[in-house]
Chains A and B, each alone.
Chain A
Amino acid sequence: MKIRHLAKAFTLAATVAAGPVLAADDEVVIGLSAALSGGAAGTYAAPAEGLKLYIDRLNEAGGINGKTVSLVIYDDQGDASRAASNGKRFLTQDDVQLIISVSTSATFAPLISQATRQGVPILFAGSVCPAETMPPAEPLLYCSTGFSSVHDSIAMVDYLRELDGDATVGFAAMGIPISRAGMEEAERIVLGADMKSAGIEIAPPGTADYTPFATKLIQNGAEAVLAWSPWSVQIRFFDALRKQGWEGNAFVGHLAEAELEMMEIKDPGLYTVGSNAMIFEDSKATQDLVAAVTESGVDLHPEAIVDGWLGGIVIEEVLGKLGDDTSAEAINAVMSDIEIDTRGLRGGSIKWTENNHFRETIYYRVYRWSDETGAMEIARDWKAYEVE
């Protein structure tokens, strides 16, 4: 375990040390700013690694259309100021044609302002999707990530209504804007559907003990709890509820850690709602992913890298459509009108248009642990939601 992480740290450090890369004509330079360390690394480091693995494999296979990708990786620790300096280096030193973000929402603003000024597109692949990518989308910003606070919330409430339309619903959020926005939207929908709310509990970052928050939800009569926040927070909320003997169902966002954790927790009342496939179902798509990880010899959990892997697929498809002009402008032109086959890792394709850089239709699946089979199961298969 120790050796693995040391090796990982050294690999990344070596990549970072490689520094500015001079782009050859047949080379596309892509900058990746990721939370490889720091508080949010638990969610974002693995997808970033997965994305790197995918790109490495592309290059080894001779690239796409004869073009290879030079991936410049900087760690931003999920921190805005570091993301800002990463952005500066990407744009002034490395002359990247595309930036990928796999990090916290706190890092978005500085990256976005710098990149849009220079006309370089940003792909959010593993970061939560910023509102700017949704219709009406701002130019240059695209998102392929499998979770999005507001859409996840809509799907969660929808599934909850299918399951138990009379439940009083409590909401657990973390004191960061994106999480609160998601839960406020969820509460709005719940109230709109004539269901009862037990209120939103917002835990500040760095909360030592989630028990008092859980107590309040229980005392407000929450029969079901919705949570959308970093995995470490939503799962501690859930732990705290269960510790007080609460027996309701909890619906949480499907983040990178979800599958591995759910297999450890083994609680059939814990549902994850998200748009990524899980590895356990052993489909052709997941088999390919697992095989690629095994073959690479990199010590990664396939369960945790799906979003990064999809980011790699997006890069592959975009470059596949790219002509001789590999400028940022040309890349943006391709991205603003493309339909990407998600190859079985999602419910359907990712379609970007001039006005919509999120996707026209988003497909959600619900997973949970099943006591009967002693394994993970799909609680409800893909369901399409139109993005308005």
Chain B
Amino acid sequence: MQIVANIIVLTSLYALVASGYVLVYKVSRVLNLAHGELMILGAYLLVATSAGITSDPLIAIALTAVFSIIVGLSVYLLLMREMTGQPVLAAVLTTVALGILLRGAMVLIWGPQQLNVASMLSFENASVVLTDSIRVSTASLWLVICTVVVYLGLLAFLHMSRWGMRMRASGQNPLLAAQRGINLHTVYALAWTLSTFSGSIAGVLVALDSRLDVNMAVIGLKAFPAALVGGLDSLHGALIGAGVIAVLEVLLIHYVNPLLSDVVPFLVLIAILIVRPWGLFGTKEELNRV
């Protein structure tokens, strides 16, 4: 039964990270390859906040959330806004450069060593006994809860609020959106902000659960198959994609060879790209062919 819990936790992690890819891709067709770094930056912001501003963990986390929103907004306003109207490839390459830049900057500022964020915040990541045979850590439990809340929140936002609808509309037809008076810059800024925000939540919780170092940006890469398998422009697709990848990974570790867990998600990704390039739940006509 512990395996089921492990699958749920891993699904939550991948889904939360994948939601960031989906939000930005859905509205602007840009694949944000700096998402892993932005996610880790969220965790480092927590480190900075707790070291420099407040020692109260809850206030520190709240401030980190605010900072991550500022980061997301700044990334759009200072960098990605300039890419509007440029070929998508140029924008994607910009995110690659941003990722490399962030990685270097984070090592420079916070150093290469692994940080124990939980102990910095005096957060006791205790083991929670769910049943006799199932235990998860407190941070993992929060991860699952946050993922559920973020997904419900995002789905409600996208389908019930005016701005959410505008995000969906702009992603589908930016020209018409502009012709209907929707301010595309606001929509894009919103997408980047939300994406960085949800990514930062994932980063903070992963850092609280294990530890933090710059290499953890790779988790962004591991959540990538989840986002793509589900379909890059579909939020519930990302959730299901995350589930598929997590199930595969955990079962492979448990029953086959753990080393396969690293490779198989990408094999699934390739298989999906061949059979159904737009993903399980993606929109077919949105795909720019090679």
Contacts and interface: CB of A to CB of B under 8 A. Distances in A.
Interface in B95-128: 104, 107-114, 116, 119, 125, 127
A206 B3 contact: no
Interface residues of B, number: 47
A41 B113 contact: yes
Contacts of A203: 258
A38 interface: yes
B135 A244 contact: yes
B108 A239 contact: no
A208 B206 contact: yes
Contact of A202 (B113, B137, B249, B259): B259
B233 interface: no
Contacts of B137: 243
Interface string B131-143: 0000111001000
SS class of chain A's interface: helix, strand, loop or mixed?
A: helix
B254 interface: yes
Interface string B69-96: 0000000000000000000000000000
A208 B215 contact: no
Interface string B261-277: 11000000000000000
B165 interface: no
Given A4-B111, A216-B253, 20 more contacts: A2-B109, A5-B107, A5-B108, A6-B108, A6-B109, A45-B112, A204-B258, A206-B215, A206-B219, A208-B216, A208-B218, A208-B219, A209-B13, A209-B209, A231-B114, A232-B211, A243-B140, A244-B127, A244-B135, A257-B113
Contacts of B259: 175, 202, 204
Interface of A: 1-2, 4-6, 9, 36-39, 41-42, 45-46, 175, 201-213, 215-216, 218-219, 231-232, 235-236, 239-240, 242-245, 257, 261, 264-265
B210 A206 contact: no
Interface in B207-258: 209-211, 213-216, 218-219, 221-223, 249-250, 253-254, 258
Nearest to B222: A208
B111 A206 contact: no
Contacts of B104: 37
B114 A204 contact: no
Interface in B1-26: 2-3, 6, 9-10, 13-14
A192 B214 CA distance: 40
A285 to B, nearest CB: 24
Given A203-B258, A204-B262, A243-B125, A42 B113 contact: yes
Contact of A216 (B51, B111, B129, B254): B254
A244 B2 CA distance: 9
Contacts of A204: 258-259, 261-262
Given A242-B127, A243-B140, A245-B129, A206 B221 contact: yes
A201 B258 CA distance: 7
Contacts of B107: 5, 37-38, 41
A78 B51 CA distance: 29
Nearest to A2: B109
B119 A264 contact: yes
Nearest to A36: B112
Contact of B254 (A210, A215, A236): A215
What are the 7 closest A-B residue pairs judged by CB atoms, nearest first? A41-B112, A204-B262, A243-B137, A206-B218, A42-B113, A39-B215, A208-B219
Contacts of A46: 113
A197 B3 CA distance: 21
Contact of A211 (B51, B140, B219, B262): B140
Nearest to B257: A202
A5 B216 CA distance: 20
B112 A206 contact: no
A219 B13 CA distance: 23
A5 B110 contact: yes
Contacts of A242: 127
Interface centre among B6, B9, B140 (most CB of A within 10 A): B6
B109 A5 contact: yes
A204 B213 CA distance: 17
B109 A212 contact: no
11 contacts: A5-B108, A38-B107, A39-B112, A39-B214, A206-B262, A208-B219, A209-B209, A211-B6, A212-B261, A244-B2, A245-B135
B104 to A, nearest CB: 8
Interface centre among B2, B116, B125 (most CB of A within 10 A): B2
Contacts of A41: 107, 112-113
A274 B236 CA distance: 49
A245 B127 contact: yes
Nearest to B263: A204
A310 B14 CA distance: 43
Given A6-B108, A38-B112, A211 B127 contact: no
A5 B249 CA distance: 37
B116 A261 contact: yes
A257 B109 contact: no
A244 B112 CA distance: 28
A231 B219 CA distance: 19
Contact of A42 (B10, B108, B129, B213): B213
Contacts of B253: 201, 212-213, 216
A257 B114 contact: yes
B215 A212 contact: no
Interface centre among A46, A207, A231 (most CB of B within 10 A): A207
Contacts of B112: 36-39, 41-42, 45
Nearest to A1: B51
A240 B2 CA distance: 12
Nearest to A39: B215
